[in-house]
Structure 1
């Protein structure tokens, strides 16, 4: 394993430990080495980069030739290696091929994401970038994959020197020549977009959440996420602002399952009981199949809405955008790999 492979694997592992930067299998990292683009495999976790083979080598020349002809639907060609051949390149591989920098990092970083889900984020993003001297450009929401790659291509034609791309209702893409520069950029972004005040406080959640009277459910073992149902402003977001970005739809579904009481749930057919339920001032409860990847996404949702002032109007993905994500085979593969 080369030095750059080792240093980037360590960087990925470090980033993957910070829930404000990486959530479960979310995000991806790549680097260009000669005519090879090494890209994180779909469904793998950045946090595991030093313990597992999570990178797939892709033919960079083949990819760039296609992009020079504006072919954004190109299927990346994996170069045969001894690495697990079940691994597939990230859905966002084409995006990484577009970026001119050696190292490219795409994250669903919480602090900027809490701005990117706002209806008027264009104004706030531009203002913060100017104040913090961040060389960034904002791209509107597009479905991950070819649609998003094409939108980024068009932005790079206009702003070829951009080192940060802000993706509406999605996240950020950062490009640099070294891991040190990546760390520096991410720190600058994190500080620039940090909230002045959080909506919830630790005292919102009672010391003990009562056990479920319905068989198969247990209280979600995460005090931060539990704040969603014990804070009136966060709870209101469940109905109004559920799907704010792609991974939320993929892992947590198109709508929040909110119940006014256990009695209402008990009247339903047991077979239709969802794996995640919210009961105001009672708790969040889950079934055993609610895996760690889904817990990470629910915690991501809490971290985002907790950074948004209650009076701010957010912009959720619409029904068509959510449907496109849920009916996408590439996302089904990623979800299955991420368990």
Structure 2
């Protein structure tokens, strides 16, 4: 094997190990959320849509795309360019492939890190970041977001950190080690303690029976969304915080003051797969799945880190509509399970 081939394999292993580490931490990655890439000459390897970063060392989750083609398109201002996969297979490149191509660094990591998101969903963000950074207002993932990032990088071409409002953070570095070091420093300066949990009441057999066929979600944090009046109030009024949250869990939360209200709604024809019963608990159907549960836990983790009375920025009705009526996200949802 020549020197370049050896370096290529080493970089692939290095990035795969990094992805597996961050992907195993639900405060950094939730299910199929987030993505990563590395560049090798005119080829860029990017995470496939709907795959899990946690599986990076166990499964082949990366797709090689023609980086030269993307750079030519970017130089011409064509941010709707469709990535050209350089290998046959069923996997599609991430819907955020253009974002990775825009970043000049060799390794790029995009995460929905809870400690960062807790700040990005509030107005007036500031951060003593450990590397040059810039801010991008919320845009639909894909070409719209890529266009905003391109403008950001024209203003600050040395940026290694890009904060995406209501979405997440992008970090670029010469190698995976540099990216992880920046991430570690960033988390240290943004870390926020969650609110103390509210003790659950004794379980009620009557409530459980009334909620059938939904069952209690087996996660103590998620249950706080119904048990803690502060979080329940935010849940009712500030549900649509992040794009992945909306794609996996819907544009609205089904909230009920008691189990009887849920039963009445169901008798009237409602068929929710997820319901929040104030002071009682959070219930989901049997097909709710690990990917949706991960997104719901992320939502709790973000809300639990909000200062009392802090205003939050939620996605607007048009922003919700464009996310939910999008074939690329339907594909990712199906792949994620």
Shorter-normalised TM range: over 0.9
How far apart are the structure 1 equivalents of 2:21 and 2:171? 16
The RMSD of aligned alpha carbons is: 1.4
> Does the alignment pair 1:204 with 2:199?
yes
How far apart are the structure 1 equivalents of 2:264 and 2:202? 29
Q: Is the 8 A contact 1:212 1:285 kept in 2?
A: no
Partner of residue 39 from structure 1, selected from 42, 46, 63 = 46
How far apart are the structure 1 equivalents of 2:61 and 2:272? 32
Deviation at 1:120, TM superposition (A): 2.4
> Does the alignment pair 1:246 with 2:243?
yes
How far apart are the structure 2 equivalents of 1:337 and 1:209? 37
How far apart are the structure 2 equivalents of 1:300 and 1:209? 27
TM-score norm. by structure 2 comes to 0.94
| Structure 2 unpaired stretches of 5+ | 1-7
Q: Is the 8 A contact 1:220 1:226 kept in 2?
A: yes
Partner of residue 76 from structure 2, selected from 69, 75, 79 = 69
How far apart are the structure 2 equivalents of 1:257 and 1:269? 11
TM-score norm. by structure 1 comes to 0.93
> Does the alignment pair 1:78 with 2:66?
no
List aligned pairs for 1:212-231, cutoff 5 A.
Answer: 212-231=209-228
Q: Is the 8 A contact 2:273 2:288 kept in 1?
A: yes
Task: State the partner residue of 2:116.
Answer: 112
> Does the alignment pair 1:56 with 2:63?
yes
> Does the alignment pair 1:282 with 2:289?
no
How far apart are the structure 2 equivalents of 1:242 and 1:162? 31
Runs of 4 or more above 6 Å deviation: none
For residues 198-229 of structure 1, give each alpha carbon's deviation from its aligned partner in whole angstroms, at most 9, with x where no partner exists. 2232x533464653423211100000111111
Deviation at 1:269, TM superposition (A): 4.2
Partner of residue 319 from structure 1, selected from 306, 317, 320 = 317
| Structure 1 unpaired stretches of 5+ | none
For residues 212-266 of structure 1, give each alpha carbon's deviation from its aligned partner in whole angstroms, at most 9, with x where no partner exists. 4232111000001111111111111111110111001100100000011121222
Task: State the partner residue of 2:4.
Answer: none
Query: What SS does structure 2 have at the residue aligned with 1:106?
Result: strand
Query: Which shows bigger deviation, 297-306 or 268-277?
Result: 268-277
For residues 140-191 of structure 1, give each alpha carbon's deviation from its aligned partner in whole angstroms, at most 9, with x where no partner exists. 1111000000000001001000110000110000000111111101101111
How far apart are the structure 1 equivalents of 2:299 and 2:182? 24
> Does the alignment pair 1:194 with 2:198?
no
Q: Is the 8 A contact 1:107 1:172 kept in 2?
A: yes
Q: Is the 8 A contact 1:214 1:262 kept in 2?
A: yes
List aligned pairs for 1:1-150, cutoff 5 A.
Answer: 2-81=9-88, 85-121=89-125, 125=126, 128-129=127-128, 132-150=129-147
How far apart are the structure 2 equivalents of 1:186 and 1:150? 24
Sort the Cα spacing of 1:96 and 1:209 in 2 relative to 1 into closer, same or farther, 3 A: farther
Task: State the partner residue of 1:179.
Answer: 176
How far apart are the structure 2 equivalents of 1:301 and 1:9? 27
How far apart are the structure 1 equivalents of 2:211 and 2:147? 48
